[in-house]
Amino acid sequence: MINFDNVTKVYPSQNRPALQHVNVGIEKGEFLFLVGPSGSGKSTFLRLILKEERPSQGHVHVAGKDLSRLSNWKVPHLRRRIGCVFQDFRLLPNKNVFENVAFALEVIGKPRRFIGKVVPEVIDLVGLEGKAHRMPDELSGGEQQRVAIARAFVNRPMILLADEPTGNIDPATSIGIMKVLDRINRTGTTVVMATHDAAIVDAFRKRVVELEDGRVVRDQSRGVYGQAY
Ligand SMILES: Nc1ncnc2c1ncn2[C@@H]1O[C@H](COP(=O)(O)OP(=O)(O)OP(=O)(O)O)[C@@H](O)[C@H]1O
């Protein structure tokens, strides 16, 4: 589903590469934790999948397509098939839960009847039943992140990218967020989650790819956070 083929990324004005000779293949339906110290290249890895950045060398394939050959006008279509969740939720503050999730479908022109059917289903899936009419400032951080996940998933993307989704959430609540991501993964969506959250990585035992100075130093199935061997 995602293939990094000898990818090196050097940002203009930087002399140290953000990623160096990265080779990682991620199958459809996999769940992958991307770990590593701050500045090791995790966000760059995610941005390359979205074609927000281009490799300086090597190739990134997503769903069988070489992104370097994907014309610019096709990039919005690629991004539509990839849901994104961030540390800081990024909800629209003046829209309620239903409207925040519905907005993701409105902007791609889905009919109102379809929206009225699927949005409540996804709100239930993320564990927010009964809260559709709450405004973001009437929700806890964990609940806001559930809305953000519902919004990212409502279009049934093939891939979900999560950049530090539990970074602003307390440990107990983080487990609940992780269970939601796990549930989404079980529907067949490939999930790539960049994280510093050792407790979560250790509790869920998924594949772990560790970056250090832009290099893959570990790729382990059912891995833990901090054990390089
Ligand atoms: N737009 C940019 N322009 C120049 N350099 C950048 C840019 N984005 C990232 N970098 C550099 O590339 C390297 C990797 O950064 P990246 O954000 O991918 O790391 P990260 O592992 O996601 O870090 P964090 O855990 O702090 O989010 C760092 O040295 C960073 O300073």
pLDDT value of residue 164:
95
Residues 63, 114: one domain? no
Single residue among 111, 137, 156 that ends a domain in this structure: 156
Q: Nearest residue CA, atom 8 of ligand 1?
A: 44
Residues 73, 167: one domain? yes
Categorize the per-residue pLDDT at 15 as very low, low, confident or very high, splitting at 50, 70 and 90.
confident
Q: Tens digits of per-residue pLDDT, 107-133?
A: 999 999 999 999 999 999 999 999 999
Residues 38, 134: one domain? no
Residues 28, 93: one domain? no
Strand ordering across the sheet containing 19-26: 19-26, 2-9, 57-62, 65-66
Residues 74, 167: one domain? yes
Position in ligand 1 atom list of the atom nearest CA 47: 18
β-bridge partners, 54: none
Q: What is the CATH number of the domain that holds 31?
A: 3.40.50.300
Q: Tens digits of per-residue pLDDT, 172-205?
A: 899 999 999 999 999 999 999 999 999 999 999 9
Supply the mean pLDDT for the chain: 95
Would you give the distance in Å from CA 61 to the centre of its chain? 17
Single residue among 156, 191, 213 that ends a domain in this structure: 156
> Can you tell me the mean pLDDT for 212-223?
94
Ligand 1, CB cutoff 6 Å, lining residues: 11, 14, 18, 36, 38-44
> Can you tell me the mean pLDDT for 99-111?
95
Categorize the per-residue pLDDT at 227 as very low, low, confident or very high, splitting at 50, 70 and 90.
low
Residues 200, 130: one domain? no
Q: How remote is the CA of residue 198 from the centroid of ligand 1, in Å?
A: 20
Residues 72, 32: one domain? yes
pLDDT higher than 70, residue 208 = yes
Asked if the structure places residue 229 within a domain, the reply is no
The ipTM of this complex is 0.94
Q: How remote is the CA of residue 23 from the centroid of ligand 1, in Å?
A: 19
Please tell me the distance from the alpha carbon of residue 150 to that of residue 104, in angstroms, as a whole number.
Answer: 10
> Can you tell me the mean pLDDT for 140-149?
96
pLDDT value of residue 106:
95
Containing domain of residue 142, as a range?
A: 88-156
pLDDT higher than 60, residue 229 = no
Q: Tens digits of per-residue pLDDT, 30-42?
A: 999 999 999 999 9
Q: How remote is the CA of residue 8 from the centroid of ligand 1, in Å?
A: 13
Please tell me the distance from the alpha carbon of residue 20 to that of residue 217, in angstroms, as a whole number.
Answer: 11
pLDDT value of residue 1:
95
Q: How remote is the CA of residue 43 from the centroid of ligand 1, in Å?
A: 7
Asked if the structure places residue 194 within a domain, the reply is yes
Q: How many domains are there within the chain? A: 2
What percent of the chain clears pLDDT 70, i.e. is strictly above it? 99
Residues 3, 75: one domain? yes
pLDDT value of residue 224:
85
Instruction: Give the max Cα distance, the chain.
Output: 53
pLDDT higher than 70, residue 98 = yes
Please tell me the distance from the alpha carbon of residue 143 to that of residue 210, in angstroms, as a whole number.
Answer: 29
Residues 72, 107: one domain? no
